[in-house]
Amino acid sequence: MRVLVVEDEHKIAAFIKRGLEENAYAVDVAYDGEEGYEWAQNFPYDIIILDVMLPKLDGVALCKRLRAKGGNASVLMLTAKDAVEDRVAGLDAGADDYLVKPFAFQELLARLRALRRRGGDQRTTQLRVADLTLDLVTHLAERDDQSIDLTTKEFALLELFMRHPNQILSRTVIAEHVWDYDFYSQSNIVDVYVRYLRKKIDDPFDEKLIQTVRGAGYRLAEGSYG
């Protein structure tokens, strides 16, 4: 999942970025509303974490502008204000959820998981394809009752595949959703991590789930043996 954090307080932005990256999110950061708008227009984010009090363009105005442009990323607004009218203004502008500062980081993670379920029309915290399962809360993967240890990026890649079973995902689509801007230009990074993932979820088993579609990309599907 790729996240844009729009937060003008650099320490808070760095704290959120670090914490989310530790939980397998790809994160870009903008420090004012105008910069946030430019990032959001140029990259396909799954979720935008948006502070209300921003320089140049405040969070409510930014959210309205993004929705007017047809942006469909889930928006979680952050604010130091706890007044009902402030929350109502943010939600009416198109935000999906609201979190008041200071907040517990575990609550932020829980709200992001809820937004992901809502966006994918899934009401579960566990994904399953064939005999492979992935727990979105504990980050535990299992296949044929065997635990599989994953790095944060391997987890993010597997989650993307399992949210789109049987669909061909191009290398560009994978890179856009699993890696942030700093790694986006590394042309072979997707192939490298697909190999890492195959070694863990496919090589020890007869049925191969990750399939290469020549000239198109990769997909996760049942039915390949070797």
Instruction: Please report, in tens digits, the pLDDT of each residue of the chain (226 residues total).
Output: 899 999 999 999 999 999 999 998 999 999 999 999 999 998 889 999 999 999 999 999 999 999 998 888 999 999 887 777 777 888 888 999 999 988 999 999 999 988 887 755 455 678 999 999 999 888 899 998 899 999 999 999 999 999 899 999 999 889 888 888 766 556 688 999 999 999 999 999 999 999 999 989 999 998 665 4
pLDDT tens by residue, 122-156? 556 789 999 999 998 888 999 988 999 999 999 99
Contact 155, 169 (CB under 8 A): no
203's CB contacts (< 8 A; 6+ apart) are: none
Contact 135, 159 (CB under 8 A): no
10's CB contacts (< 8 A; 6+ apart) are: 31
Secondary structure percentages of the chain, helix, strand, coil, to 5:
40, 25, 35
d(CA 210, CA 226): 12
Contact 166, 220 (CB under 8 A): yes
| Domains located in the chain, CATH noted | 2-119 (3.40.50.2300), 126-225 (1.10.10.10)
Does the pTM of the predicted model rise above 0.75? yes
Contact 104, 78 (CB under 8 A): no
